[in-house]
Structure 1
């Protein structure tokens, strides 16, 4: 594919304008559980989900930067953006004929959806078994199983999934939610990111057409997409850290009192700049399937997680009791930062992978 889709007349609006006008007034509601669908559709119309469709380093970096702009304000919306970006990434990298018809509408936000690869990524690393199984039938497959916590979903949204066949082959395909055979269940509440459309997906003998297959051999396809999958996530952590630094700068009283603390906003911004340079270098190698490249990207992703955690902690320390109150901005960013380190691949997943390869 590799060609960005045509975008409608709303492209005159940039990400910064959408964040300022559409997103920021809704942050409290999103943190309480409202799904930011209108914001996401505006971002899609503005081209925010299409930067990386050509597979170039520049396009991938621009997608990361756009996600970072969103994460400066709201990690929930940035995470939904990553889910959408990941689905677009899979469709853009696919050689199967079916995704061509789904690509443009996903890249411009007319179709929203999720990545669905948390369980498969863990399965490919030997952490847990593959959750879905399938059987070949005329015209497609019958798929069954349960996926916990797939995000950026609502009835009618699509998500990618990988299922195992009886012969051991693994197939990657796109499924549509909200049907009799692909149901959504909200069975928990999270301490943050409650507004991300995160559900357990219950798949009951669902028919998956050959037209919905992204990769008939997922084991061969995953090494082609995993570098971009992980690199795209860095936009969440860097944007959150940048937003935290800006929050700390607005707090003149706290900054004077916290002048001796070890991580002021200036130090956060310096680390962001270094990580951004490393991300730009890594983006140049995203197409390299060699495992050593993937491990280096995992190290980079881990360093972004640490910065997000340390930045949010620094803000809490600076704000003190004011940050510890329910509803405080510092505490919202602190809760969000925890997620950066637990979303797949999580810090414990990455450290285990790196230790195994040492």
Structure 2
């Protein structure tokens, strides 16, 4: 698929977005369908190099595609933003192993990617401390016990997700970003939050 411009969403996706926009704002009945619909249209691959499974283009092209979706459904665009943001984390990360394990499934919409970094942004702005804490379980700091809770994360699909979160570490060690999968021991997802709108965005 060639890189999509803002005005070139596939007609079948446009029809689906227009038909479900209000329902996605007011309820979660179709929430599980958003990521697969966007993936089927190839939207998550925009701005990702072909060598990595993408369709080429730039991050600007990805932003244009998110804006195009928003013209039809804000809730779907919100989910799109969350998924594509996590994909960008992987593309920019030096953690090649994580990228190899996760990127393909994220591009295909088989797994949801969630950005849980609002707490980190507030931490960097000196508005609040980090809410998540990582304690090493071995001398080499290759395994960690993770504790904490984050109140607002979008795209936590019950069918499967991985969430990026910033964790404080002891002994003045700089904080680190961890990618936490839904099926890691101890991970608990709340029920969807009772939002005014965007209720189909799997925000929990």
1:21-71 per-residue CA deviation (whole Å, 9 max, x = no partner) reads 3222112221122253323213223321122234xx951111011111110
1:169-195 per-residue CA deviation (whole Å, 9 max, x = no partner) reads 211121122665111113741211121
The aligned counterpart of 1:273 is none
The aligned counterpart of 1:150 is 153
CA distance in 1, matches of 2:133, 2:13: 40
Root-mean-square deviation (CA, aligned residues, Å) is 2.1
Residue 44 of structure 2 is aligned to residue 49 of structure 1: yes
**Aligned match for 1:163, one of 158, 167, 170:** 167
Displacement of 1:82: 0.2
The aligned counterpart of 1:129 is 129
Name the larger-Rg structure. Answer: 1
3-state SS of paired residue (2:66):
helix
Whether the 8 Å contact between 1:113 and 1:157 is mirrored in structure 2 is yes
TM-score, structure 1 normalization? 0.48
CA distance in 1, matches of 2:125, 2:48: 27
Displacement of 1:118: 0.8
3-state SS of paired residue (1:103):
helix
The aligned counterpart of 1:198 is 203
The aligned counterpart of 2:188 is 183
Whether the 8 Å contact between 1:31 and 1:195 is mirrored in structure 2 is yes
TM-score, structure 2 normalization? 0.82
CA distance in 2, matches of 1:22, 1:39: 10
The aligned counterpart of 1:20 is 14
Displacement of 1:121: 1.1
Whether the 8 Å contact between 2:161 and 2:182 is mirrored in structure 1 is yes
3-state SS of paired residue (1:64):
helix
Displacement of 1:154: 2.4
Whether the 8 Å contact between 1:160 and 1:173 is mirrored in structure 2 is yes
The aligned counterpart of 1:81 is 80
The aligned counterpart of 1:65 is 64
User: Runs ≥4 in structure 1, deviation > 3 angstroms?
Assistant: none
Q: Which protein is richer in helix relative to its size?
A: 1
CA distance in 2, matches of 1:174, 1:121: 17
* Change beyond 3 A, Cα 1:158–1:18: farther
CA distance in 2, matches of 1:58, 1:142: 39
1:263-310 per-residue CA deviation (whole Å, 9 max, x = no partner) reads xxxxxxxxxxxxxxxxxxxxxxxxxxxxxxxxxxxxxxxxxxxxxxxx
